[in-house]
């Protein structure tokens, strides 16, 4: 997220906190609000809208698939990743796996790389990661040690099969 904006006095913590709590309730009555949030201009609002659909799972499928699908191409990695998990949760598993694998081509570092790894696991896409990508990311770098260790683990697990 945009660090400077979140720390500014103009950031509406109350609005975001209310939406986060609403998203975590898992109550289908909140679906219209969550879908509206998925269409918001603010990426943090979109994130929580998609997270709420993820929590609702298949209860969000009939009305939510279109809005969630649009978030798979969002400008913000965190939004794309939570939308990927939501697509999986609402039953579009192949599409979610494809989106997770496509996300590997975006440069991720820090918290986003951890979120990417967790999303790959959540949508059962780790076995779909191409060997070429693993080889490219296996090189030591201070930029993203966590991602490199993940790659080592995947390669080791594959070698043990």
Q: How far, CA to CA in Å, does 111 sit from each of 78, 145, 147?
A: 9, 12, 10
93-112: average pLDDT: 91
- Residue 112: which pLDDT band, with cuts at 50, 70 and 90? confident
Residue-level pLDDT at 10? 74
- Residue 139: which pLDDT band, with cuts at 50, 70 and 90? confident
User: Is 45 in contact with 80 (CB distance < 8 Å)?
Assistant: no
Q: How many CA atoms lie within 13 A of 124 on its CB side?
A: 8
DSSP 1: -
- Residue 121: which pLDDT band, with cuts at 50, 70 and 90? very high
Q: How far does CA 22 lie from the centroid of its chain?
A: 18
User: Is 116 in contact with 81 (CB distance < 8 Å)?
Assistant: yes
Total-model pTM = 0.90
- Residue 8: which pLDDT band, with cuts at 50, 70 and 90? low
- Residue 6: which pLDDT band, with cuts at 50, 70 and 90? low
User: Is 49 in contact with 19 (CB distance < 8 Å)?
Assistant: yes
User: Is 144 in contact with 113 (CB distance < 8 Å)?
Assistant: yes
Tell me the H-state helices in 25-110. 31-38, 43-56, 61-71, 77-89, 93-103
């Amino acid at each position: 997220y945009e660090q400077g904006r979140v720390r500014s006095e103009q950031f509406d913590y109350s609005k975001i906190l209310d939406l986060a709590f609403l998203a975590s309730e898992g109550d289908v009555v909140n679906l219209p609000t969550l879908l509206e949030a998925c269409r918001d201009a603010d990426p943090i609002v979109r994130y929580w809208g998609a997270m709420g659909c993820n929590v609702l799972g298949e209860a969000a499928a009939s009305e939510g698939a279109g809005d969630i699908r649009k978030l798979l191409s969002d400008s913000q990695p965190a939004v794309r990743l939570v939308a990927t998990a939501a697509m999986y949760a609402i039953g579009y598993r192949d599409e979610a796996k494809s989106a997770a694998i496509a996300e590997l081509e975006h440069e991720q570092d820090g918290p986003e790389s951890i979120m990417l790894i967790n999303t790959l696991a959540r949508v059962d896409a780790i076995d779909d990661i191409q060997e070429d990508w693993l080889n490219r990311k296996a090189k030591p770098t201070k930029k993203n040690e966590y991602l490199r260790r993940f790659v080592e683990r995947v390669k080791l697990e594959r070698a043990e099969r």
